[in-house]
Chains A and B, each alone.
Chain A
């Protein structure tokens, strides 16, 4: 079996201008922050970012890496809004594709299943549709005839996710209570990068958890990076909770930048 371990910088070197990058986690929870920070060190720009957004989106916007954000929300959980993202929006520095968060799930699921779209009710009647001119609805071909949103596949070039443990081959487990949608991000992407708190031998990976926690298998992963603290300041329970002081400092620095 192949050894897929590499470094943070080595892993993100695949990212090229104009790519679509999917980022796992949720809000300010288990975000692959070390990978995002590595991405900031590359020359890549004009990125489209798909995320259940938190400081990952804020950092990339602040660094001028982003052309478009595809999102249902951007929030830091214990602090409502991300000031970097807000400023990027309020200065018109980025474009956005605003979706209902369920539409993001449907779009990732469609991409994961190699389907052009999946039907969903989410979005109907809302301004999400108004501001997505290319989006189509589809009528049920059965007797009900209900009109539904045909959410297009969110095909990703690269997925970045952070889990608690992985083996060198790309099998990986989460130890916290929520897998979020990290498996879907990997299934929706051509190139999949997993960072983790610790790389361990396969036997140790499997022995450490209930089998349901083995979220990723090696078919879903191209690169593995050991990055202790790699989600911080966001949470990566049970290894660590959110560093609220560091998050507060991030927000203060971002807000200070706004008035400078």
Chain B
């Protein structure tokens, strides 16, 4: 299969987040992480559990917007049990993210009277302190990657406590980042094909750790492209989230 889009690279990078997870619940927030989790179940991790975003576990892997047969019941009260048990990998969005992986989805500005109120912390504090957490940022920009977040919803490495904190990676439209720098500082793990390191740094509001050899994010395989284009996302919704 010839050629691939940036969105397809992102989908595969999101799928790779779940590749080594085994039999855990994937909780992808947003279009690209959802595509990624479904792609992972069809390729690298068939044991992954998927939910319908309401109250059921899916026995099969549906396309975006589609339905699938059920394999179990997971209302919100049971989701909290899974969070506490730790058998979950959440991929959240972030209005702000700092170099140690602190995430803000609560509000911008002073908490007493914010300039902009968003969701609130949702489950981010509990997620990050209980089990593996990754982030998806559709538009890598200094507005998102900030020196200090205004409110710590998801907990980063410099504030981590307890035995279960595990912020894994950040996938963006430009790169994959991890926390393998000194003191778990954010590091460029790979840049997407066609992106250079300077571009990633320029879109980041703090200095990234840059290894001597920065790999290029792997290209989708023919099988993955076929699954993305013909099975999971035939309408090409991924390209709206990350235009080429």
Contact = CB atoms under 8 A, between A and B. Distances in A.
A112 interface: no
B119 A73 contact: yes
A121 B126 contact: yes
Contacts of A101: 121-123, 126
Interface string A68-94: 000111110000110001100111100
A147 interface: yes
A122 B76 CA distance: 16
Contact of A102 (B56, B126, B154): B126
A122 B125 contact: yes
Nearest to B165: A125
A91 B126 contact: no
A66 to B, nearest CB: 14
A123 interface: yes
Given A72-B121, A72-B122, A125-B129, 7 more contacts: A101-B126, A121-B84, A124-B161, A125-B152, A125-B155, A125-B160, A181-B77
B155 A71 contact: no
A226 B240 CA distance: 45
A86 B160 contact: no
A81 B119 contact: yes
A176 to B, nearest CB: 8
A130 B120 CA distance: 14
Given A91-B113, A121-B162, A177 B55 contact: yes
Interface of A: 26, 53, 71-75, 80-81, 85-86, 89-92, 95, 98-103, 105, 120-128, 130-131, 146-147, 176-181
Contacts of A98: 106, 111, 120-121
Contact of A179 (B75, B122, B159): B75
A74 B130 contact: no
Contacts of A53: 120
A121 B164 contact: yes
Contact of A177 (B56, B114, B120): B56
Contacts of B73: 177
A81 B84 CA distance: 27
Contact of B54 (A95, A146, A177): A177
B114 to A, nearest CB: 6
A178 to B, nearest CB: 4
A127 B126 contact: no
Contacts of B121: 72-73, 98-101, 126-128
B96 to A, nearest CB: 12
Contact of B162 (A73, A105, A146): A146
Contact of B125 (A74, A85, A126): A126
A90 B117 contact: yes
B160 to A, nearest CB: 6
A110 B111 CA distance: 27
B68 interface: no
Interface in B107-161: 107, 111-126, 128-130, 151-155, 159-161
B4 interface: no
Given A86-B116, A126-B155, A103 B126 contact: yes
B76 A121 contact: no
Nearest to B116: A90
Contacts of A176: 55
A139 to B, nearest CB: 12
Contacts of B118: 80-81
A180 B75 contact: yes
